[in-house]
């Protein structure tokens, strides 16, 4: 049995420690018992930002857990630890704005819709055995201390807002999808963003034929997804790259198709055959 410091040992941590824990789970329990919380960090993907959150704050001091999206890991780790310390000292973070947590700007703490908690905080859900626990999102401003939704907010610092009354804009929808294993956004491998415009033949767009030819043009980096009848009497149709990947997951195999190359297959389920495009094919 571990002899580490357990200043924040609880009935829950003791019960979990008595169960059959993995090495990582045991580390989480030990950190909660020693420091009052553990910080979990999920790396950003090709289609969405990373996020960080606490586990154990609610168990050890009956204050909300905290989550933040889009910050560098080191910055997020400092912010969450400072926020947990403030909560433990009796400060209500939902009141007003708070400095000295993230550089020279302020930070707001807003209650999180439980649907986001379930979607993003799987390890905390395990720790609390599926029981409800409150969560606050640390919402940060831009470098001029302007917050999301305020005039002149610098969109570089845009972040998904996870409150019950927050609208599901493209930012929230894309972030949700990037954390959804059922979505093509999850573990996105293409070098281009999911909303990149690509060319489809009419039959592919209509769903009457499957993609059997894909090209990644050298001149402008454009993607083309074509069927057996190619244009079928009409011009190309523009669509988002991720829409086609959602429809046909086998296209993920071509995420590393180089510029100036194409890939063909006889029909769905058959292997892709890659080759370099000839100059006349590019034109």
Query: What is the tens place of the pLDDT at every residue in 208-228?
Result: 999 999 999 998 999 999 998
Question: Across residues 25-49, what is the average pLDDT?
Answer: 94
Query: What is the tens place of the pLDDT at every residue in 80-122?
Result: 999 999 999 999 999 999 998 998 899 999 999 999 999 999 9
2 in any annotated domain: no
| Average predicted confidence (pLDDT) for the chain | 93
40 in any annotated domain: yes
Q: Are residues 120 and 233 in the same domain?
A: no
Q: Are residues 158 and 212 in the same domain?
A: no
User: What is d(CA 211, CA 206) in angstroms, rounded to the nearest whole number?
Assistant: 12
Q: Are residues 102 and 204 in the same domain?
A: no
237 in any annotated domain: yes
Under the banding of pLDDT at 50, 70 and 90, the label for residue 1 is very low
Q: Are residues 72 and 172 in the same domain?
A: yes
Query: What is the tens place of the pLDDT at every residue in 45-82?
Result: 889 999 999 999 999 999 999 999 999 999 999 999 99
- Predicted confidence at residue 231, as pLDDT, reads 52
Q: Are residues 76 and 161 in the same domain?
A: yes
Q: Are residues 219 and 172 in the same domain?
A: no
89 in any annotated domain: yes
Q: Are residues 143 and 31 in the same domain?
A: yes
Q: Do you know the residue count of the chain?
A: 283
56 in any annotated domain: yes
Q: Are residues 37 and 143 in the same domain?
A: yes
Query: What is the tens place of the pLDDT at every residue in 180-218?
Result: 999 999 989 999 999 999 999 989 998 899 999 999 999
Q: What is the DSSP letter of 81?
A: H
6 in any annotated domain: no
Cα separations in angstroms, 5 against 8, 168, 176, 269 = 9, 43, 38, 56
Q: Are residues 67 and 207 in the same domain?
A: no
Domain that holds residue 104: 11-178
Query: What is the tens place of the pLDDT at every residue in 139-190?
Result: 999 999 999 999 999 999 999 999 999 999 999 999 999 999 999 999 899 9
Which is higher by pLDDT, 199 or 1? Answer: 199
Cβ atoms of 51 and 161 closer than 8 Å: no
Domain count, the chain: 2
183 in any annotated domain: no
Q: Please report, to the nearest 10 degrees, the dihedral formed by the alpha carbons of residues 91, 89, 77, 34 taken in order.
A: -150
User: What is d(CA 110, CA 90) in angstroms, rounded to the nearest whole number?
Assistant: 17
258 in any annotated domain: yes
Q: Are residues 142 and 245 in the same domain?
A: no
Q: Are residues 201 and 160 in the same domain?
A: no
Q: Are residues 151 and 243 in the same domain?
A: no
- Tell me the HSE value of 157 on the side-chain side, using a 13 A CA sphere: 19
């Amino acid at each position: 049995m571990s002899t580490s410091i357990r200043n924040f040992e609880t009935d829950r941590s003791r019960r979990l420690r008595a169960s059959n824990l993995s090495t990582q789970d045991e580390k989480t329990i030990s950190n909660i018992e020693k420091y009052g919380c553990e910080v979990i960090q999920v790396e950003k993907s090709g289609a969405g930002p990373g996020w960080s959150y606490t586990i154990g704050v609610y168990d050890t001091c009956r204050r909300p857990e905290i989550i933040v999206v889009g910050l560098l890991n080191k910055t997020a780790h400092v912010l969450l630890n400072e926020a947990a310390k403030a909560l433990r000292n009796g400060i209500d973070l939902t009141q007003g704005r708070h400095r000295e947590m993230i550089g020279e700007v302020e930070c707001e703490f807003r209650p999180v819709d439980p649907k986001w908690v379930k979607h993003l905080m799987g390890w905390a859900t395990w720790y609390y055995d599926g029981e409800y626990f409150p969560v606050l999102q640390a919402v940060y401003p831009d470098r001029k201390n302007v917050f999301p939704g305020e005039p002149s907010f610098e969109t570089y610092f845009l972040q998904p807002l996870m409150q019950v009354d927050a609208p599901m804009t493209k930012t929230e929808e894309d972030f949700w999808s990037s954390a959804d294993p059922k979505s093509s956004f999850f573990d996105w491998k293409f070098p281009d963003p999911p909303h990149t415009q690509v060319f489809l033949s009419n039959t592919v767009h209509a769903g009457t034929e499957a993609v059997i030819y894909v090209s990644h043009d050298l001149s402008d980096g454009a993607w083309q997804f074509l069927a057996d009848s190619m244009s079928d009497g009409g011009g190309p149709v523009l669509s988002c790259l991720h829409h086609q990947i959602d429809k046909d997951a086998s296209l993920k195999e071509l995420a590393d198709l180089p510029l100036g190359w194409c890939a063909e297959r006889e029909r769905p389920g058959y292997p892709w055959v890659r080759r370099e495009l000839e100059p006349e094919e590019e034109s």
